[in-house]
Amino acid sequence: MLSLHGKVVAITGASGGIGEATARLLAQRGATVVLSARRSERVEAIAQDIREEGGRAATCVVDVTKAEDLKRLVATATDQYGRIDVLVNNAGIAPISPLADCDTEGWSAMIDVNLRGVLNGIAAALPVFREQGSGHLVSIVSVAGLNGASATMAVYAATKNAVRTVHEGLRTESTDGVVRTTAISPGYIRTDLADSMTDPRLRELTRKSMDTVGIPPAAVARAVAFAIEQPGDVEIGEINVRPTAQA
């Protein structure tokens, strides 16, 4: 196992689920982590746990739909620790519904958080990565962005596929080796993502699926750590993490 000592990693959506698991694991492996989310009390409690266990952690309240918040997250890392080596774009929501429901508010919310949030992170981090001479962008995508849309998930899948496309574009642009990119696409993960679903029936069905075939958030956290730990000349462009039952 390679060491993450000296790495400064900022994580969005770090108040629970994959983001929290990633923050805790990376800190255990020696990274300095900057946790961000809208729930300030929750991220501060997680950061305090990390500090009490001997890790280094800071927090920043962030709404990823606001470009200035992502700039403030990057600035928090560079102001406190002198640099930012990795930005993990993890924040996401899934108020899924059949297209026939015409839930335009839910569609807009997914576009704003799942896609625009990643673009805001890229816009905030890229100039700093360029100035430093190195940087790594990691985004949590979804197998929905690989397999196409199932019933009720058309817009959610579209946002995730768009993030994959953006990542591929950034990878092909980054020919000088300064910026590294990794897209991680999980299957069902046991998180509270279903809470963002407005349809009670879909919310319950999704929770049951997560409980039945979902894998723990720590599995995705290990994939993030693996990608970050690799030497600079090793490119890990995409990692898929899903239960065997879904393979």
Query: What pLDDT digit, counting tens, does each position of 96-111 carry?
Result: 888 998 999 999 999 9
- In whole angstroms, give the CA distance from residue 119 to residue 111: 11
At 243 the pLDDT is 57
- Selected residue with higher pLDDT from 111 and 245: 111
At 97 the pLDDT is 84
Kindly tell me if the per-residue pLDDT of 63 is higher than 70. yes
Beginning with the edge strand found earlier in the chain, give each strand of the sheet holding 86-89 in spatial order.
56-61, 32-37, 8-11, 86-89, 135-140, 179-186, 238-241
At 246 the pLDDT is 39
Does residue 217 contact residue 18 with C-beta atoms inside 8 Å? yes
At 43 the pLDDT is 96
pTM for the model stands at 0.89
- In whole angstroms, give the CA distance from residue 38 to residue 20: 13
Closest CA to 142 of 155, 123, 124, 130: 155
- In whole angstroms, give the CA distance from residue 232 to residue 7: 13
Q: Which residue has the tokens 């899903």?
A: 242
Q: Which residues, 6+ apart, have CB-to-CB distance to 165 below 8 Å?
A: none
At 167 the pLDDT is 92
Q: Of 115-129, 144-158, 164-178, where does mean pLDDT reach its minimum?
A: 144-158
Does residue 156 contact residue 96 with C-beta atoms inside 8 Å? yes
Pairing of strands 32-37, 86-89: unpaired
Pairing of strands 56-61, 32-37: parallel
Question: Can 156 be counted among the known catalytic residues?
Answer: yes
- In whole angstroms, give the CA distance from residue 88 to residue 224: 8
Give the amino acid at 169.
G
Catalytic-labelled residue, pool 31, 156, 181, 217: 156
Kindly tell me if the per-residue pLDDT of 3 is higher than 90. no
pLDDT band at 245 (very low <50, low <70, confident <90, very high): very low
Q: Taking all residues of the chain, what is their mean pLDDT, rounded to a whole number?
A: 88
- Selected residue with higher pLDDT from 202 and 154: 154
- Selected residue with higher pLDDT from 145 and 28: 28
Please write the tens of the pLDDT for every residue from 164-218: 999 999 999 987 889 999 999 887 775 666 566 666 776 666 666 666 666 788 8
Q: Which helix (H) or strand (E) holds 106?
A: helix 104-110
Give the amino acid at 181.
T
